[in-house]
């Protein structure tokens, strides 16, 4: 009986030894285990430059874990955020950015992180333009566009001399125009469906919030047509008077622009 037990015990012990040995393999196979901070950073940057974002993130994370103090660790945190951004992983990118800003609010390059946060949300703005594929535009959420604007605004206000400030301001102007056009498109959507009061109110929102945007001209025309459909003569004339005064050559005074192409093709 004892011999039989030993017969089965020997293979079991051998398997346990093999398995325990396998457990040690990851550490032995880690080529980075003896790398210095500069070596890790250099290799991570090389991976980043070739588009190997997962590998770059792994290297940067190892760098931060092994050398948590000093400029390399801080730079790695910023690079991780950028890598996630290039990977189109917005949640991870934003989390990394917020972490860096919280840990290093006075870092000499923190302005870049505000700028990157704006870029992440700026790219997400495409989500709220999904209504160009015939979805109900009133259901779209321009949250990312507004958050992008807020990030760029914070950068411009807190770091007016930043090398990123000029581009941030240009993107803010674009976002204002895009958000205004979005509001007007929603107003037009309501008008086409006979929701004239909702159309007038949405157009007025564009008029009040985005006074300098090009879409204001169309917003006024939507108000004129909506009030006319509602039989609100006084309000219709008020809106038309403002349209005449501010846009005397408006195409909307001559029946509106050519709508043969998509509405969003504004260039």
Count up the domains in the chain and report the number: 1
In a domain, 259, yes or no: no
Check residue 70 and give left, alpha or beta (phi > 0: left; psi -120 to 50: alpha): left
C-alpha distances out from residue 74 to 30, 66, 96, 104, 111, Å: 23, 12, 11, 8, 14
In a domain, 45, yes or no: yes
Task: Give the structural domain span for 44.
Answer: 36-89
In a domain, 44, yes or no: yes
In a domain, 10, yes or no: no
**The predicted structure's pLDDT at residue 154:** 94
104-113 pLDDT per residue, tens: 999 999 999 9
In a domain, 59, yes or no: yes
Q: What is the pTM of this model?
A: 0.71
**The predicted structure's pLDDT at residue 265:** 41
In a domain, 127, yes or no: no
Q: Which residues of the chain have pLDDT under 70?
A: 1-28, 124-141, 255-267
**The predicted structure's pLDDT at residue 124:** 61
**The predicted structure's pLDDT at residue 24:** 44
For all residues of the chain together, what is the average pLDDT? 83
In a domain, 97, yes or no: no
In a domain, 160, yes or no: no
Sign of CA dihedral 47, 53, 55, 59: positive
């Amino acid at each position: 009986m004892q011999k039989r037990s030993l017969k089965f015990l020997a293979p079991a012990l051998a398997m346990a030894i093999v398995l325990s040995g396998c457990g040690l393999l990851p550490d032995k196979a880690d080529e980075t285990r003896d790398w210095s901070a500069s070596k890790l950073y250099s290799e991570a940057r090389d991976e980043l430059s070739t588009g190997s974002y997962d590998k770059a993130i792994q290297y940067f994370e190892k760098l931060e874990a092994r050398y948590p103090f000093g400029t390399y660790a801080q730079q790695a945190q910023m690079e991780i955020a950028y890598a996630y951004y290039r990977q189109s992983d917005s949640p991870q990118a934003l989390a990394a950015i917020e972490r860096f800003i919280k840990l290093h609010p006075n870092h000499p390059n923190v302005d870049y992180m505000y700028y990157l946060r704006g870029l992440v949300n700026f790219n997400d703005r495409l989500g709220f333009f999904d209504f160009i594929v015939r979805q109900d535009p009133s259901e779209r959420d321009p949250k990312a566009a507004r958050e992008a604007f807020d990030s760029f605004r914070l950068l411009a206000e807190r770091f007016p001399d930043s090398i990123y400030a000029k581009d941030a301001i240009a993107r803010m102007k674009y976002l204002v125009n895009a958000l205004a056009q979005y509001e007007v498109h929603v107003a037009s959507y309501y008008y086409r469906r006979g929701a004239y009061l909702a159309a007038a109110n949405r157009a007025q929102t564009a008029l009040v919030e985005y006074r300098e945007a090009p879409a204001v001209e169309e917003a006024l025309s939507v108000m004129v047509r909506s009030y006319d459909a509602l039989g609100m003569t006084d309000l219709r004339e008020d809106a038309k008077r403002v349209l005449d005064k501010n846009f005397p050559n408006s195409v909307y005074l001559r029946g509106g622009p050519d709508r043969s192409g998509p509405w969003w093709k504004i260039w």
